Amino acid sequence: MKTSPLPAAFQDLQTFVPDWALPNEKVRYHKLMHTELADLRVFFDAMLPRAGAIIALLEPHDPDALQGELLTLYQLLATFVETAHPIELNWKSTDIEFKSDPMRLQFHGPSAAY
């Protein structure tokens, strides 16, 4: 998966790009299910104070037309949004008890291709 560097104002988040700038919902879901809570906490704590600035930068742009560093930033933010609930809800683990087999989930749209 090829990603671009982040915009200069967000270089402090660059270390998270290889593991957390993920292209779609399916990949982000599987990342969440296979990440230890402590590792998720590090990502969450880095992203939370920057989320407002990221949204402000991305808001004027069409999400379907994003490319390069803005697309990478969008993917990082999407992963943050889709993986934040275990931290926000004080879960003990990212492994959901009594969950359905993740291989049985059906993803649609861009996620279906992965």
pLDDT tens per residue across span 59-87: 999 999 999 999 999 999 999 999 998 99
Dist CA 75 CA 36 (whole Å):
20
Dist CA 114 CA 110 (whole Å):
8
Residue 101: pLDDT band by 50, 70, 90 thresholds? low
Among candidate residues 82, 70, 80, the one with its CA nearest the CA of residue 107: 82
The reported pLDDT for the residue numbered 41 is 96
The pTM assigned to this predicted structure is 0.82
Whether 42 has a pLDDT exceeding 80, the answer reads yes
92 is written with which tokens?
Answer: 């003990």
Whether 14 has a pLDDT exceeding 60, the answer reads yes
Compute the average pLDDT of residues 51-64: 96
Q: For residue 37, give the amino acid letter.
A: L
